[in-house]
Amino acid sequence: MAQWILKHFVSGDSENVSPKDRSRVGTAASIVGIIANIALCLMKGLVGLMVGSVSIVADAVNNLSDASSNIISFLGFKLASRPADDKHPYGHGRYEYLSGLVVATLVSAIGIELVLTSVDKIVHPQPTDFGIPVIVVLVLSIFIKLWLAHFNRALGRAISSTTLEATAVDARNDVISTAGVLVAAALSDATGFDLDGWAGVVIGAFVIFSGLSLIRDTLNPLLGQAPDPALVKHIHDTIMSYPGVLGTHDLMVHDYGPGRLVASAHVEMAAEENPMESHDTIDNIEEHFRQEGLIVILHYDPIVTNDESVKTMRGWIAEAILSIDSRLTIHDLRTVPGPTHTNVIFDVVRPHDLPLDDDELRDAISKIVTTRYPNAICKITVDSSYVSAV
């Protein structure tokens, strides 16, 4: 069914799904989840009340919460597909991340409620009548949830949706929890010792752990996590593949929702070349990315290439500062000679976990530079890296 939905609801390239198609796929997946979870809730709830099983009733409530999560996902995809407006020029794509966060929070809340209900069953035990109806409903639930987990995972990966992948994980958790209820029912029937409450505690703890993990995963894009290293490498390699490009740095990638990435970078080109030709090259690179569905804004950095002394200095400093930390890099180096000293101006990119603060780093680099260039006065701007190293 996942392939049928992708075939009929994705109109363009499956590698670059449009926001409109994402909304259609997400909406279809949410409707399927709502129908399946409400049906499971009704079946389990009736059977659980009939046999007096707190774990089965809790599992039914869990399915009801899953249906609520699907409704939230449905609303999230609908809101995320809204076009940009004056107040939100980058669109509303982050609604999808917010809906995923709400789903993850509901998963955690249901886990807590399941633990509390199960503890109450342990403290105040009540007889549980396990029989054929229980087994049939639980086995059917396991197969339906296995299918839902595969269904949502396939669609989530196809459209890169954290919401659908979170829903797939939730369905997998339901398989484990329902299997636990089934095992507890079988053992209780065989031994005569009611394990219903204990099974609920274990399952609830697992659901809480999974919910907290999902919260962490859905919070990351909202907090501004580093972009995918594969994307960073692709942007870097694409820029460097154009003739006349000497280097690139200061790459920043902003995520405004799935399929809504905006990036910027500096491109180093020879200062001696015709600036109109260099500008045309940069325009061509930006258009290349635009054809891929990625907005990249490039800044032109002219680099002096016909002064051998500057080239030698740039290469020596770049190599020498590796003695401080092997991850340090420099860019935009230029010199301003004077009668008594030479100002050496450049930027250095520092790792976030470098033990030196910015002033200590400047001092350390300046000391290294003056060992070879005693008349140099370093004017250093310390930059932070916003992406993974290429």
Write down the pLDDT at residue 129. Answer: 62
Write down the pLDDT at residue 321. Answer: 95
* Best CATH choice for the domain 307-390 from the list 3.40.30.10, 3.40.50.970, 1.20.1090.10, 3.30.70.1350: 3.30.70.1350
Q: Which residues contact 83 (CB under 8 A, 6 or more apart)?
A: 91
| Annotated domain spans of the chain | 2-223, 226-304, 307-390
CA dihedral angle for residue 191, residue 192, residue 198, residue 202, rounded to 10 degrees: 30
Write down the pLDDT at residue 178. Answer: 79
| Fold assignment, 2-223 | Alpha-lytic protease prodomain-like (1.20.1510)
pLDDT in single tens digits along all 390 residues of the chain: 777 777 766 776 556 666 677 778 888 888 898 899 899 888 888 888 887 776 677 778 777 777 877 777 787 777 777 888 888 888 888 887 887 788 778 778 878 887 887 788 788 776 666 677 778 888 898 999 999 999 999 888 888 777 788 788 878 888 887 787 778 777 777 777 777 778 778 877 877 887 787 788 778 888 888 888 888 999 999 999 999 999 999 899 998 877 688 999 999 999 999 999 999 999 999 999 998 878 999 999 998 888 889 989 999 999 999 999 999 999 989 899 988 999 999 999 998 889 999 999 999 999 999 999 999 999 999 998 887 655
Of the candidates 318, 298, 300, which has an alpha carbon nearest to the alpha carbon of residue 238? Answer: 298
Q: Do domains 2-223 and 226-304 have the same CATH topology?
A: no
Write down the pLDDT at residue 326. Answer: 92
- What is the value of pTM for the model shown? 0.67
Write down the pLDDT at residue 118. Answer: 79
Write down the pLDDT at residue 8. Answer: 66
Write down the pLDDT at residue 12. Answer: 62
Superfamily of domain covering 226-304: Cation efflux protein, cytoplasmic domain (3.30.70.1350)
